[in-house]
């Protein structure tokens, strides 16, 4: 293989403990002030049998003229900078420390088993090799952006990115929702032949509503129409007759076994009497009139049923009918921004999560991805926190992937997110995050992440993410691409918002 000369970056040197199997250092070529190598960049060393693929962890600049503080100070105090007397520039050089990620051996990734030789030339990793090393898919992959410091497109296959649950974590404003939009664009533009996934987005702030008018043309796809349905949370209706006593109890945080048993009896009575057409207030009426129920239990059940009824979320029939709205390639936006009450958002989420898994298990709906924004509000870590859908989401997290009932959880407070759920997310996209508790939590919950990558998370730019997990061979930094469809009428800054209202 012939390499262009500019691909050459430096030469491996000896330090006290390197080169060893996992690390090597190289002195960077080029003029003193030229930046040819960047931290985080992939580099490689060719040996006779394999290509060693490594990543630059750190860059150290040295200059022997500046090694002795007394001497430098002496020249300084004489008013003669060292630079004006001695050829300091010529003695400045940069040492790059690189960590070996794997060997590329005739189309296969193998674990490192020997050390690179001192004196070996270090080169930029060839993009084709890098793409194959990272298991990217050039043809049918999801075009999410480009690798940081490289021009190579980041195109993981849908299997690698989404066939297990995905967590998108970062502090506020780092680019999580923007990335979700890019991901949705990619899923929407897939063809039948490439394989299409049904997607449901629980849109807590209504920030994806703009997608409802998206056209195939905007996404650059020619064949066929894209299908998007926008459902307002206030139109949502949970069918009471299809709920069992256990099902109803999931919407209430602390129903006892005895109360569930009594409720079960009342429900079977209601089924007999009204042929599957009854509401929560009908159930409350039946409970009131049932003399076999203890007075305290009766009051508790009635007040729960009435409280639930007052949310306005329950009715006789299901709206929408989930089994009919889920189809391959279709995006369903459930807009929860109408609700101020977190409880209502939680009830809808809880119902959706359990119903979608149930329908998928029975193969009545296609494989789907359920995107949950602000996931820490729906499946928090603290057991004492009231979170109605936690159990349902944890069930999908544990059992869903066998049926391709997949989760994409988005959160700005990873530390508050259920560890049960987070540890089931085989893939994570981590954007900028500076909170030390969140960082520690991310480090603990994802196996593949090394210390140096974790440290880099604090320095990521907006729209830049670290992908870890099964989607990539090694933790990989990616600049997410611009979206194709921009939302209109969004107020971006405070100054714009105050100018608009101050008329």
Ligand X SMILES: Nc1ncnc2c1ncn2[C@@H]1O[C@H](COP(=O)(O)OP(=O)(O)OP(=O)(O)O)[C@@H](O)[C@H]1O
Measured CA to CA, the distance from residue 331 to residue 212 in angstroms comes to: 9
Round to whole Å and give the CA distance between 242 and 278.
10
**Least Cβ distance, residue 337 to ligand X (angstroms):** 13
Helix and strand element counts for the chain (H, E): 16, 20
- Closest to Mg ion by CB, 177 or 476: 177
Sheet holding 427-430, edge to edge: 153-154, 145-147, 476-480, 464-469, 427-430, 166-169, 405-411, 368-372, 198-203, 331-335, 228-232
Which listed option, Mg ion, ligand X, none, makes contact with residue 236 (CB within 5 to 8 Å by class)? none
Task: List the single partner that 480 binds among Mg ion, ligand X, none, CB under 5 to 8 Å by kind.
Answer: ligand X
Q: Which is nearer to Mg ion, 175 or 233 (CB)?
A: 175
- What are the structure tokens assigned to 229, written together? 């349905």
Pairing of strands 153-154, 166-169: unpaired
462 touches, from ligand X, Mg ion, none (C-beta below 5 to 8 Å by class): ligand X
Shortest spacing between CB 226 and Mg ion, in angstroms = 23
Smallest gap from residue 287 Cβ to ligand X (A): 42
- Distance in Å, CB of 174 to Mg ion, minimum: 9
Residue 178 contact partner, candidates Mg ion, ligand X, none, CB within 5 to 8 A by sort of partner: ligand X
Q: How far apart are CA 311 and CA 324, in angstroms?
A: 25
Rounded Cα gap, residues 36 and 29, in angstroms: 8
Which of residues 69 and 490 has its CB atom nearest to ligand X in the complex? 490
Distance of closest approach, residue 144 Cβ to Mg ion, in angstroms: 17
- For 469, list phi and psi in degrees, rounded to 5: 115, -160
Minimum distance from residue 451 beta carbon to ligand X (Å)? 24
Closest CA to 61 of 86, 79, 88, 41: 88
Answer with the entry of ligand X, Mg ion, none that 312 interacts with (C-beta below 5 to 8 A by kind): none
Pick 129 or 219: Cβ nearer ligand X? 219
Q: By CB under 5 A, name the binding residues for Mg ion.
A: 176-177
CB-nearer residue toward Mg ion: 124 or 176: 176
Q: What does 477 bind: Mg ion, ligand X, none (CB cut-off 5 to 8 Å by kind)?
A: none
Comparison of 143 and 401: residue with beta carbon closer to ligand X: 143
Q: Which two tokens stand for residue 72?
A: 């430098």
| Position closest to Mg ion via CB | 177
CA distance 50 to 123: 14
Binding site for ligand X (CB under 6 A): 170, 172-178, 412, 462-463, 480, 482
């Amino acid at each position: 293989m012939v390499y262009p000369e500019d691909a050459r970056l430096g030469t491996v040197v000896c330090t006290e403990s390197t080169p060893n199997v996992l690390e090597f250092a190289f002195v960077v070529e080029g003029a003193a002030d030229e930046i040819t190598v960047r931290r985080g960049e992939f580099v490689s060393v060719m040996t006779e049998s394999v290509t060693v693929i490594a990543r630059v962890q750190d860059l150290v600049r040295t200059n022997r003229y500046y090694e002795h503080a007394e001497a430098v100070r002496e020249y300084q105090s004489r008013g003669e900078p060292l630079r004006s007397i001695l050829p300091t520039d010529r003695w400045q050089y940069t040492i790059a420390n690189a960590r070996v990620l794997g060997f590329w051996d005739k189309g296969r990734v193998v674990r490192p088993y020997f050390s690179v030789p001192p004196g070996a030339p270090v080169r930029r990793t060839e993009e084709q090799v890098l793409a194959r090393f990272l298991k990217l898919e050039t043809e049918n992959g999801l075009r999410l952006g480009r690798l940081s410091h490289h021009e190579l497109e980041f195109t993981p296959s849908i299997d690698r990115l989404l066939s297990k649950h995905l967590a998108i974590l970062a502090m506020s404003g780092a680019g999580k929702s923007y990335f979700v939009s890019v991901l949705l664009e990619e899923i929407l533009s897939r063809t039948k032949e490439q394989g299409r996934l049904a997607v449901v987005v629980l849109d807590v702030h209504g920030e994806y509503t703009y997608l409802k008018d998206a056209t195939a043309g905007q996404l650059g796809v020619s064949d066929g129409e894209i299908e998007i349905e926008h459902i307002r949370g206030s139109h949502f209706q949970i069918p009471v007759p299809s709920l069992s006593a256990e099902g109803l109890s999931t919407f209430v945080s602390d129903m006892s076994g005895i109360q569930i048993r009594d409720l079960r009896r009342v429900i079977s009575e209601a089924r007999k009497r009204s042929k599957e057409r009854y509401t929560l207030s009908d159930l409350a009426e039946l409970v009131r009139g049932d003399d076999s129920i203890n007075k305290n239990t009766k009051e508790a059940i009635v007040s729960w049923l009435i409280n639930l009824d007052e949310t306005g979320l329950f009715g006789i029939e299901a709206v929408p009918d989930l089994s009919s709205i889920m189809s391959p390639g279709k995006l369903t936006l459930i807009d929860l921004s109408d609700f101020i009450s977190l409880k209502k958002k939680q009830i809808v989420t809880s119902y959706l999560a359990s119903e979608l898994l149930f329908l998928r298990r029975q193969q009545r709906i296609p494989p789907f991805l359920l995107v949950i924004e602000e996931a820490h509000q729906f499946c928090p870590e603290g057991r004492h926190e009231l979170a109605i859908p936690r159990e349902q989401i944890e069930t999908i997290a544990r059992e869903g992937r066998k049926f391709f009932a997949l989760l994409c959880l988005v959160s700005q407070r990873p530390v508050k997110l259920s560890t049960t759920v987070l540890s089931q997310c085989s893939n994570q996209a981590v954007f900028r995050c500076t909170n030390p508790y969140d960082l520690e939590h991310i480090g603990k919950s994802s196996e593949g992440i090394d210390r140096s990558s974790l440290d880099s998370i604090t320095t990521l730019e907006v729209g830049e993410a670290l992908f870890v997990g099964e989607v990539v061979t090694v933790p990989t930094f990616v600049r997410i691409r611009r979206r194709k469809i921009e939302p209109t009428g969004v107020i971006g800054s405070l100054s714009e918002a105050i100018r608009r209202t101050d008329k």
